[in-house]
Structure 1
């Protein structure tokens, strides 16, 4: 699914019309230092010819062009799209496009090309995707062209991205491991099913934290299987169902990915939802209901709207004031008796 809210001339179009580099246009559009007056006038004139506002008018109106590109499970993508719509309604001056692609439809070549296309149109990109060599290359090219790229929730540290905004994913996995160990009977051996998806760094880091805590503090708990569900409920349902059909004893499930509804469906089908500790990520309408019914024991979440606002704040910073530091947001822990606003 995709939402496109503008088709105006891109930064590269302006740069070509003005006879300057895209990075220079980016500096002019954001009112940064280091651009000669004659160059600013060239950019202003080019924008006027293309039917756009001048640099001064753009700054006074706070106009921004931001592209959100998300490759994830359908549940996460839907939540991000809803928050983007709310953000656009709150900031009418914000020109925003959004592309969401389900993980099951991922193609590295096409996704990299999408990043390149949006980089021609936007001065800032908010990116959620798996770690892939081709994607890293596309992000580097966008950065070289003066487009800021912020990784949201899942990082691409080898891409030279502008910043990472999100929770500490290793800490979130460690938190899941700690609560899992504390909720299960002490010193009693038990099997843990670990559910992952594709090569998202966020899930890999969650797994690192989870395994570390179980190894150090709860060595009687053993991770028996690591299944790949491609971030979707249907795949999760079949994977957990297969595990349970084989009659393997199960003490807990940690889902680092999406598809919590599918895990819950399998547990309920075999009548073991009250016997298995089930922890996952992302508070949604479905996971909230699973907490209330007791099928899920804990959900680890984050404030997605706050994180998008952090991304926009980074985009708005002048180059001379911008810090390269990442923005780590608070980990939110939900259970059956949490207050859901």
Structure 2
């Protein structure tokens, strides 16, 4: 059957005879499985070598556009910058457009101003005007990868990040196990209703606690910013005296803990997301119980790889959800 490499090339790469390779490629009987695996590995190696040749000397400019608390954007920026050299012999540069609070119109406007880009890594609201801005970029030849929260109605090429619904279910399991027979209610803190990823976490969390009898109280629109989050949490705690636990998909955990302390209530369990500087400190101090984390450098690498694939500079690879790590004070990654 036709193949992108000559039989002779595959034979040289695998160390097998041309006749053996030909039998494998044409799926003829009498070939051992380990021989088929050797041929598959040789083809994968040839793909990598071809990709290296395509990358040699090429320059790519990638834009990272995010509305997110600074503690998270700082961590992701460091991850991107650490991964840029890994794409040698290509030369990748990154521009960062980062802010904490804003409207969907601001996000759409920022996307509309991008020029000279080879691709965009985007954390944005799931809103029609954002989807339209993404579609315009893609239509102009700029691929877009959504990160941590998706805009699925757009023509983005991939979503990179955790299974958000699964993360919410995991959080509910941990909270329920921690509280045991206590009837304590749970506060869920969201940065805003327009981020699809947080909404999926909330749905997973609520579905897993359904039937437990626990009160679930939601606060939203804090943007993960401490001052706003503290005010919202204080109001919720005063109105719901049975709340003694927190699931925080949206951040602002230092403010949440400060609100509990201000009214003299113990937070018996707090499940957070992302191992940023604040959460590392709170975990060490015993104020956050566990952090649901994913490897930001691995995410950055996958996101940038997806952009290069769209330009034909790397072979296509499927994107799978990033594994969720449950981080305690005793297994914090360096």
Length-normalised TM-score, structure 1: 0.75
Q: 1:114 to 1:225 in 2, by over 3 A?
A: closer
* Secondary structure of the corresponding residue to residue 158 of structure 1: coil
Q: Indicate if the aligned counterparts of 2:191 and 2:223 stay in contact, CA closer than 8 A.
A: yes
Unpaired segments ≥5 residues, structure 1: 1-56
- For the residues of structure 1 that align with 2:255 and 2:277, how far apart are their CA atoms? 14
Q: Contact 1:149 / 1:163 at 8 angstroms: preserved in 2?
A: yes
Distance 2:260 2:95 in 1: 39
| 1:150 equivalent among 145, 154, 160 | 145
Q: Which has the larger radius of gyration?
A: 2
- Aligned partners of 1:184 and 1:251 also within 8 Å: no
Once the two structures are superposed, what CA deviation does each residue of 1:21-62 show, in whole Å capped at 9, x if it has no partner? Answer: xxxxxxxxxxxxxxxxxxxxxxxxxxxxxxxxxxxx995213
**Is the counterpart of residue 170 in structure 1 residue 170 in structure 2?**
no
Does the C-alpha gap of structure 1 residues 78 and 243 become closer, same or farther in structure 2, counting only changes over 3 Å? same
- What is the aligned partner in structure 1 of residue 246 from structure 2? 253
Shift of 1:131: 0.9
In structure 2, relative to structure 1, the CA distance for the partners of 1:224 and 1:94 (3 Å cut) is closer
| Equivalent residue number for residue 99 of structure 1 | 97
Report how many residues are paired: 278
RMSD: 2.3
Q: After superposition, where does 1:48-67 map in structure 2 within 5 Å?
A: 59-67=55-63
User: Which stretches in structure 2 are left out of the alignment for 5+ residues?
Assistant: 1-52
Query: CA separation in 2, counterparts of 1:71 and 1:136?
Result: 15
TM-score by length of 2: 0.77
Confirm whether residue 305 of structure 1 aligns to residue 297 of structure 2: yes
Do residues 112 (structure 1) and 108 (structure 2) align? yes
Deviation sequence 1:154-205 (CA, Å, 0-9, x none): 111000100001110000011000100011122x422111111221011000
Are 1:235 and 2:228 counterparts?
yes
Matched, 1:74 2:40: no
1:194 maps to 188
